[in-house]
Amino acid sequence: MHGEILMGDIVVIKPGSGIPVDGVIVEGSSWVDQASITGESVPVEKTVGDSVISGTINKNGSFQMKATKVGENTTLSQIIKLVEEAGNSKAPIARLADKVSGIFVPCVITIAVLAGIFWLLQGQSFEFALSIAIAVLVISCPCALGLATPVAIMVGTGKSAENGILIKSAESLELLHLVNTVVLDKTGTITEGKPKVTDLVCEGEIIHLLQIAGSLEQNSEHPLAEAILEEVTQRKIQLLKVEDFSSISGRGVKGKIDGKMYFGGNLAFMQENGVFTQNIKKETENFFAQGKTVLYFASEQTILGAIVVADTIKTSSFRAIENLKARKKQVVMLTGDNRVVAETIGKSLGIDNVISEVLPQDKEKTVQKLQEQGKKVAFVGDGINDSPALMRADVGLAIGSGTDIAIDSADVVLIKDNLEDVVTAIDLSKAVIRNIKMNLFWAFFYNCVGIPIAAGVFYLGFGLKLNPMIGAAAMSLSSVCVVTNALRLRKFKPQTIPTSCPVGLGLDQPSTTAKITNQKSNKEEKIMKKTIQIEGMQCNHCKMSVEKALNSLEGVTKVEVSLEDKTATIEATKEIEDDKIKEVIEEAGFEVR
C-alpha cells in the first residue's frame, strides 16, 4: 500500500484502520492508538494539524491526512531498517568445545604415533607398539568433549519450552547467564497495555456511579469507555436506557436517564455545564500527578463522583523485578510513554533507573550505550518500537502476545507473557552453563588420566599396560556419563523468592470471594475481633465509607481497614451478628460474602 501513496496525497482513514504512512491531519479528529510505536498505553486524541505515524491504529472517528513521509522514509520503515542493521552488527559467539576439539584430535594422533615410536625404540615388538598406539586412540574421547555442550543445551532448551520459554538459539541460552542489566519496556511488558479502572471517588454509592457512567459510555466511541464498561460488566451492574445522547469531542458525553440529564467527561466539561466540582477536584488532584486519566460524572448540577483510568501493572511484574534485584541484576525501565506515568510506575515497582519519552531509535541507542559501558544487556519488549533494541541487546526477550516483528527480532520468546519467566530463563542458563563446565571438566580429567595410562607411562615401573578393548569400553562409558549428567537438567525447577510487594498496589481489581472470620481474644473483658473481606474498595474515600459504616455498629471499639488486602478488622465489646455487619457494609455500597 505504501507504493500507491505519494507525497502530498490526501488519505482517508476510517475507524479501526491502520495508518499506512506518516502524515498530518487536515480534516476531522479521532483517537489514535500509538502504543506499538511510542509505547503510550492510552490512545491519543488527534485533531487538525496533529501528526500521525505509520503503523498506529485509528480507534474511532474518521479523518483525512496529508502524506508527508512515504515508502522507506516512514517511521515504520526506519524501524525495520534499524532492526536489520542491529542484527547484522551482532558478533557470533565462539564455542570453547569447538576450539578444544580442533586442537585435541591432532594432539591425540601425535601422542599415539610418538608413543608407538617410543616403544619401538625401547626394543618392544611392532605388535606391542601398535597396541599402545591403538589404546591411546580409542581411550581418548573427543566425543565426550563434543557432547558436553550440545547435549546440555538440547536438554536446557527442552526444559525451557516446558516452562513456556522458547529459546531460538544456543548462543542466547549461553549468553543469558552473563546478563547483568535487564532493560524492560513498560507498555504491554510491565503493564497490561490497556486502560483499566484503578480508582473510584464517590460522593454517593459506587454502584450508582458506575451504573450512570456505564449507561452513558455504552453509546460512546471514546477508547476509555471500554475500561468503564469492562468494570461495569465485571460487577454485573445493569445498564439503563439513555435518551438524547450526545458526544462532545474533547469534552465528554451527556444524555437523559429516567428524564434526568447526566454528564460525563473532563473537568472543563463539568464546569461548562455548571457542575460544582471544588470538593472532588481536591480529591482527584493526586491522580493527575500520577499520570492517570480522571473522568467526572454528574447529574445536572450535582457531582456523582469520578472514575480514574490508567494502564495497570501486571501482578507478575512485582515478583519478577524483586527477584531480578535479588540476583544482583540492574533493572532499567525504558519507555516512550510520558515522564509522569513512567516515574509513577517505576516508583511503584522500586525501579531506580527510569528512562521515558524515547523513540524507537533512542531505545536501541540506550541499549548500545549500556553495552559500551561493559554491561551485558537483556532487553524485554513486545512492540514494533522495541524491535531495534531487541536486536541490539546481547539477548532480546519478546513477550508472546507482542507484535510479529518483535517476536522475530528476539532471541527468546516468553510464551506466557509473564515477566517472572525472565528470571527463570536466566536461572536455567546458569544451570546449563554449570552443567557444561562440569561435563568439560570431567571429559578433560578422563583424558588427562586415561591417555597417559594408554601410552604406557606406568608400564616400565608397574608393568601396567592398557588393553585397547578396555580403552574402548572406558571411552564409551565417558560419553554415557556426560549424557547422564546433562539429563540431570530435566530436574530443573524455577526458583523465586517470596515478594513483599502488595499485588497491584491498588492497581488490580479484587477477585477473591469475601467472607467474615471470627476470632475471640483471651482478655478478661472478652473483646470480640472479626476480620471481614470486602469487594469493591478502590480508594481512600471507599476506605472512609467502610470505617464509618462499621463504627456505627453498637459495641464496636476499633476499626482498621486495609485497601491492599481488601479487608476490615473490627474489635467490639459484644458479639455482633455477621448478618448485621454485612447489612451495613452493603448499605455503604460494598459487598461481603
pLDDT of residue 263: 92
CATH of the domain at 406: 3.40.50.1000
Asked if residue 33 is part of any domain, the answer here is: yes
pLDDT band at 522 (very low <50, low <70, confident <90, very high): very low
The rounded distance, in Å, linking the Cα atoms of 30 and 14 is 10
In this predicted structure, the answer to whether residue 363 has a pLDDT above a threshold of 90 is no
In degrees rounded to 5, what are phi and psi of residue 28?
90, 180
The rounded distance, in Å, linking the Cα atoms of 320 and 423 is: 7
Q: Is residue 481 part of a domain?
A: yes
Q: Using the predicted structure, report yes or no on whether residue 503 has a pLDDT greater than 70.
A: no
**304 and 341 assigned to the same domain:** no
Amino acid 505: pLDDT = 36
- Looking at per-residue pLDDT, the higher value among 259 and 248 belongs to 259
Q: Both 183 and 325 in a single domain?
A: yes
List Cα–Cα distances, 306 to 253, 293, 374, in angstroms: 14, 10, 49
- Bridge partners of 196, per DSSP, are 310
Task: Give yes or no: residues 135 and 34 share one domain.
Answer: no
CB atoms within 10 A of CB 102: 10
Last residue of a domain, one of 425, 450, 466: 425
Distance between CA atoms of residues 353 and 343, nearest Å: 9
Dist. CA 327–CA 330, nearest whole Å: 9
For residues 229 and 363, state if they share a domain. Answer: no
Domain count, the chain: 5
Please report whether residue 503 resides in a domain. no
Q: Please check whether residues 216 and 252 belong to one and the same domain.
A: yes
Select which of 185, 199, 311, 417 is catalytic: 185
Please identify, among 391, 406, 425, the residue that sits at the C-terminal boundary of a domain: 425
Q: Decide if 200 is inside a domain.
A: no
| Comparison of pLDDT for 557 and 333, the residue scoring more | 333
Share of the chain above pLDDT 90, in %: 8
Strand ranges (DSSP E) for 440-564? Answer: 516-520, 528-535, 556-562
In a domain, 6, yes or no: yes
Q: Give residues with Cβ within 8 angstroms of 514, minimum separation 6.
A: 532, 533, 534, 535, 566, 591, 592, 593
The model's pLDDT over 102-126, given as tens digits with 9 standing for 90+, comes to 777 788 888 888 988 888 888 888 8
φ, ψ of residue 251 to 5 degrees: the values are -125, -65
185 tagged catalytic: yes
Grid cell listed for 589? 455500597
Both 174 and 317 in a single domain?
yes
* pLDDT value of position 227: 87
Instruction: Provide mean pLDDT across the span 373-394.
Output: 87
Same domain, 419 and 320: yes
Instruction: Let me know whether 292 and 376 are in one domain.
Output: no
Q: Which of 276, 309, 342 is the last residue of a domain?
A: 309
Residue 401 pLDDT > 80:
no
Same domain? For 466 and 518 the reply is no
Alpha-carbon distance 337 to 108, whole Å? 60
Nearest to 309, CA basis, from 327, 291, 293, 333? 293
Q: Taking 90 as the threshold, does the pLDDT of residue 276 lie above it? A: no
Does 298 share its domain with 212?
A: yes
Range of 457's domain? 96-152+434-491
- Beta-strand ranges (E) seen in 76-190 are 165-167, 181-185
Residues 222, 302, single domain; the answer is: yes
Hey, which bits of 163-273 come out as E strands?
A: 165-167, 181-185, 191-202, 243-248, 252-257, 260-265
User: Do 352 and 403 reside in the same domain of the chain?
Assistant: yes
